Amino acid sequence: MTQRNRARRSCLSVPGTSPKMIDKARSLGADQVFIDLEDAVPPPEKARAREIIVASLNEGGWGERTRAVRINDLSTAWTHADLVAIVEGAGPHLDTVILPKVEAPEQITWLDLTLTQLERSTGLEVGRIGIEAMIETAGGLVHVDAIAAASPRLETLIFGPADFMASINMKSLVVGEQPPGYDVGDAYHYILMRILMAARTHDLQAVDGPYMQIRDLDGLRRTAARSAALGFDGKWALHPGQLDVINALFSPAQEDYDHAELILDAYEHSTSEAGGRRGAAMLGDEMIDEASRKMAFVIAAKGRAAAMTRTQRFQVPVP
């Protein structure tokens, strides 16, 4: 399965130490569930969490959701053991591995090679397990282009706001919110755009990190709308109550989805033999051309990934 087939509007995080929360995640409206071995698991519980995660993945019941595990970063003593335990124990039921705090392409190369060895030793198809890279430090952002190009397994770049804010000494304690005193624009605009450009250049998805004030849905809407407007594919959720907001913001409005599909239909007709093989045409009062088609395809693809249903149909114009 390639990254193009894995929608990630909402990515729900669940701790690897909680079988009940993992079980509940199977029935929630998240496009991806990632089980966490990193921040949500204290050091004495790492080994037990691996066992719980392997059992949960093998149990099944995940439907069409992307199944991911966030392992510990490469500065720790647990990364290799995490990877071996999860892939050897539940490799056939794992879609992606999330590597946190990626700062250099060599870290992605290491993960790719290690996954290849584990896939071969366990009889899995080489390359079937994808990689998601978290950009959470100043160094990671500086090297994000090289990171994005480091492996054909790479599917997604993820912005990790909390660690990033600490990395650059940002004067704020509220993750994702504007730092006090910064009143000249959006303090995160450059960061988000930098990640987005690297992702799009290498045909990857771009996902925004979590909003940690889990009861503040207005704050979630405000921060999620920012990355959704730029073109990010999705956002992490830390609580089931955040999923509906995220899914709505990262899906097109019904009117926009219908309009996009109409543009695609109209352009296909206009460029066909029956439509006169024209490179430009009118859709109502709107002129459409190849550039219009590309823009419409982006919106239509998001709607299709969200399983939206059309409410308008294209009518071939009468000569």
What tokens does 162 get?
Answer: 């909390």
Tens-digit pLDDT profile for residues 117-154: 999 999 999 999 999 999 999 999 999 999 999 999 99
Question: Is the pTM for the entire model greater than 0.85?
Answer: yes
Q: What would the mean pLDDT of 168-174 be, rounded to a whole number?
A: 91
**Residue in 230, 186, 187 with CA at minimum distance from that of residue 208:** 230
The answer, yes or no, to whether residue 76 has pLDDT greater than 90, is yes
Written as six digits, the tokens of 261 are 């599909």
DSSP state of 123: T
Nearest-Å Rg of the Cα atoms of the chain is 21
Please state the CATH superfamily assignment of the domain spanning residues 3-249 in this structure. Phosphoenolpyruvate-binding domains (3.20.20.60)
Is pLDDT above 60 for 197? yes
Residue-wise pLDDT tens digits, 94-116: 999 999 999 999 999 999 999 99
18: which 2 tokens? 């909680």
Does 266 or 75 have the greater pLDDT score? 75
User: Domain spans of the chain?
Assistant: 3-249, 254-305
